[in-house]
Amino acid sequence: MKKIILACLASFAVVATAAPISFDFKDPKGVNAVQFHLDSLLEPISGSANGVSGMVSFDPAAPASTAGTILITANSLMVSNATMTEHLHGSKWLDVGSHPEITFELTSLSDAKTTNNTTSAVAQGKFKLKGVTQEIAVPVRITYLADALGKRTKPGNKGDLLVIRGEFTVQRADFGIQSGQNEDKVSPEITLKVAIVGSAPKA
């Protein structure tokens, strides 16, 4: 009985001293990217942005307390057609010279449910595109991989990984992007798909 009580106290102590872990989404491998898709009548357009960075705080003992910000460098958005990419970056569309970053600031997680090491939830936050901020809700899956940094980078590297996956749709008119124009070639809806990895090295 004494051993059981001591084990329970030890477990409680571990939980009580657990602290949020800070994960850096500036990927040293350069793999992190956000996919985007505009499914118009005449020209379905797909592309990606690899300029991903940001910090997210995650507590394995309390996933619902997750907080942080993900940033995308606007001029890293690319499509396969060079001329279309140039137009995308121009003043009539994203205007990357005046608005160099796209951001999502996580303010809360709702309906969080954790199974094994993965938490499914709805991420509430502020999405900023072309200088306009909108409150949005994004269904996400957050997977915490303890002691997995060495498996993804270099054997012997100590640390944890956090994988965030999600998909959401915004209206370009809501962000002042050519509202009501060229809708046969450029869809009024932009679908974004996120699958990114953050790392938390340990000494």
- Digit-coded pLDDT (tens) for 15-46: 444 689 999 999 989 999 999 999 999 999 99
Q: How far apart are CA 143 and CA 163, in angstroms?
A: 5
Confidence of residue 203 (pLDDT cuts 50, 70, 90): confident
- Report the share of the chain in percent with pLDDT over 70: 91
Instruction: Look at 14 and 112; give whichever has higher pLDDT.
Output: 112
Per-position DSSP letters for 127-169, written without gaps between them: EEETTEEEEEEEEEEEEEETT-HHHHS-TT--EEEEEEEEEEE
* pLDDT of the residue at 91: 94
Tell me what the pLDDT averaged over the chain comes to.
Answer: 91
Tally of helices (H runs) and strands (E runs) in the chain: 3, 11
The pair of three-digit structure tokens given for residue 190, joined into one six-digit string: 């932009």
| 69-99 tens-digit pLDDT | 999 999 999 999 999 999 999 999 999 999 9
* pLDDT of the residue at 10: 42
* pLDDT of the residue at 1: 52
Average pLDDT value for residue range 161-184: 95
| 136-159 tens-digit pLDDT | 999 999 999 999 999 999 999 999
